[in-house]
Amino acid sequence: MKNTKIEYLVGCFVLAGLAAILYLAIQVGGARLLGGDVYQLQAQFSSAAGVNPGSRVEIAGVRVGTVKSVNLDEAYYALVTLELPRSVKLDSDTIASVKTSGLIGDRFIELSPGGSDLFLEDGEMIYDTESALDIEDLISRFALGGIDSNKE
């Protein structure tokens, strides 16, 4: 009788541990147990370097969603799928920018809501995008001269 009780408690403890590990894995992976009240938008970037599935999506520095996937489209643009709660309604002239936390921090997507009053629906595309500032490109332009240097 006593052994059964101990075994029962151990079983509960193991189950609780497994549940905690599962929860942690889901949170870290940016996934969801249930579908939830979310919708997806796509954004097309000339470069989405550093953005990965699970990366943050923010508005005014507040996390509102997650990057679901990053793929290459037929025109060789980076096609980023964003997952957002339905409570976050975005106008069609929303701007999506790839930003960096600090100088060398993680890349994330910053959304700047528009004011068109035409809201983006599930699966629609954000065309107004800004790729991340390319430090190497800036340095090379500065060092070697870029398109701006027209002086003979």
Partner 1 sequence: MYKAILAGLTILLGSTVASASADPVEELKGSVTEAVEVLYGEGSEAKSVELKRDEVRAAFEKNYNMDIIIRRAIGSNWRRLTEEEQTRVLELIKAVVLKAYIDGMEGRARPEIRYEAAVQLGEHRLEIPSVVVMEDRTVSLKYKLARMQSGWELYDLVAEEISLVANYRQQFDEHFRRGTAAKLIEKLEGLLNHEKLDHKVTL
User: What residue ranges bind partner 1 (CB under 8 A)?
Assistant: 44, 75, 91, 93, 95, 97, 112-116, 125, 127-128, 130-131, 147-151
Taking the complex as a whole, how short is the minimal distance between the CB of residue 55 and partner 1, in angstroms?
20
Taking the complex as a whole, how short is the minimal distance between the CB of residue 8 and partner 1, in angstroms?
56
User: Among all chains, which residue has been given the structure tokens 């969603």?
Assistant: 65
Q: Which is nearer to partner 1, 3 or 149 (CB)?
A: 149
- The number of beta carbons lying within 10 Å of the beta carbon of residue 119 is 12
Give me the amino acid identity at 100: T
* 104 SS3 class: coil
Query: CB–CB of 123/42 below 8 Å?
Result: yes
- The number of beta carbons lying within 10 Å of the beta carbon of residue 104 is 7
Q: Which is nearer to partner 1, 81 or 112 (CB)?
A: 112
Give me the amino acid identity at 143: A
Taking the complex as a whole, how short is the minimal distance between the CB of residue 43 and partner 1, in angstroms?
12
Q: Which is nearer to partner 1, 18 or 138 (CB)?
A: 138
Distance, in Å, from the CA atom of 50 to the CA atom of 125, rounded to the nearest integer, reads 20
Distance, in Å, from the CA atom of 92 to the CA atom of 121, rounded to the nearest integer, reads 9
Q: Which is nearer to partner 1, 37 or 117 (CB)?
A: 117
Taking the complex as a whole, how short is the minimal distance between the CB of residue 44 and partner 1, in angstroms?
7
